[in-house]
Amino acid sequence: MRRDGRRRVASAGLSTLWLLLLAAQGLSPADALELDPARDRALALLNADRSEQDLPPLQLDPALNAAAQRHAEDMLQRDYYAHTSPEGEDVQDRFLSAGGSRWRLVAENIARCAECGPALSADIIRQLQRGWMDSPQHRANILRRGIDRFGFGIAAADQPGLYAVQTFAGPGRPRGLSEGEEPKALAPDELADGMLERLNRLRQDGGRDRIQGSPALDALARSLIPDSGSGGLERANDLYARLPDGERGRWRSLGVLKAACGGCGARETEADLRFFHRQWHERAGDERRLLDPGLTHAGFAIEADGSGRKTAILVLGAVR
């Protein structure tokens, strides 16, 4: 133990092991906290740090609490210290096992104090938070934008000591954001117009004729987006049957490009246009379809379910 009475606590970020010095003064069984009060204390301290940066507060989440507690207890019982268990299970696996959504952005902070005993005090919770805030990687998780839920777990024994876990989840942020850019939400018609503009720039660069937008194909694209509760993209078995009667005989050919992402924000934004367009034009097979000289029209739709999942559908058509 150091002369100043501070105990050595190790705290790890997403990939880097950090050693932090945290004070642990006056511990006794009388100071022991129940788990729920400890979580409330951890949340209050974390939200105070977020408030100083003008960030919205987080709320406790049962699945995140369960994932954090499971990991703290597992590290204690099996005497290891890592974000990944010996079997290769990570924070997302634990979150899913506890009933969390696979579409949410998930992150984790961990800490260890080999010299701390089983008695837990409010001071320990406070200094764990201070230690995490003093570490750049942990601080980045605590102050991350795009998260709205928090979980906390803690387990301790005389040997090997104390393990603490913070878990975070939220819808995330749009994947296509540029440095320093804030998300700009767009209406459905703005999204369709924006994608059409990008497609025509690509076609112009490739020496192809411009294509036009189509309200009927926009509506078709929206109809192909799966329900928010489904696990994947719906198969378009009969595109023509989804068109209004007056539109079915107009089209010589129809095709669909689909894409989805998780942890990429709660609203449909301009940045999503860049992300999904880049996905398609950087894949050789999809780019050939975008540059098909026979194309005449396109329809487009994005839907965000609020949890972080976004689905994009592009319908490509050629009139007779």
Per-residue pLDDT tens for 198-227?
A: 999 999 999 999 999 999 999 999 999 987
Q: Which residues, 6 or more positions from 78, have their beta carbon under 8 angstroms from its beta carbon?
A: 86
Which tokens sit at 151? 């979980």
Q: Where are the beta strands (DSSP E) in 148-198?
A: 149-156, 162-170
Q: What is the pLDDT of residue 234?
A: 52
Q: Which residues, 6 or more positions from 148, have their beta carbon under 8 angstroms from its beta carbon?
A: 56, 58, 59, 169, 170, 171
Q: What is the pLDDT of residue 114?
A: 80
Query: Are the C-beta atoms of residues 149 and 58 closer than 8 Å to each other?
Result: yes
pLDDT: is 115 or 99 the higher one? 99
Tell me: pLDDT of 30 over 70.
no
pLDDT in tens, 36-76: 999 999 999 999 999 999 999 999 999 999 999 999 999 99
Tell me: pLDDT of 269 over 70.
yes
Tell me: pLDDT of 115 over 50.
yes
Beta bridge partners of 167: 108, 151
Could you please report the per-residue DSSP string of 237-287?
S-TGGGS-HHHHTTEEEEEEEEEEESSB-SS-BHHHHHHHHHHHHHSHHHH
Among all chains, which residue has been given the structure tokens 């949340």?
Answer: 43
Q: What is the pLDDT of residue 289?
A: 96
Tell me: pLDDT of 130 over 80.
yes
Q: What is the pLDDT of residue 22?
A: 33
DSSP 8-state secondary structure symbol assigned to residue 58: P
Range from 180-184, 223-227, 233-237, 305-309 carrying the lowest mean pLDDT:
233-237
Q: What is the pLDDT of residue 157?
A: 86
Tell me: pLDDT of 35 over 50.
yes
Q: Which residues, 6 or more positions from 316, have their beta carbon under 8 angstroms from its beta carbon?
A: 254, 255, 256, 257, 289, 290, 292, 295, 297, 298
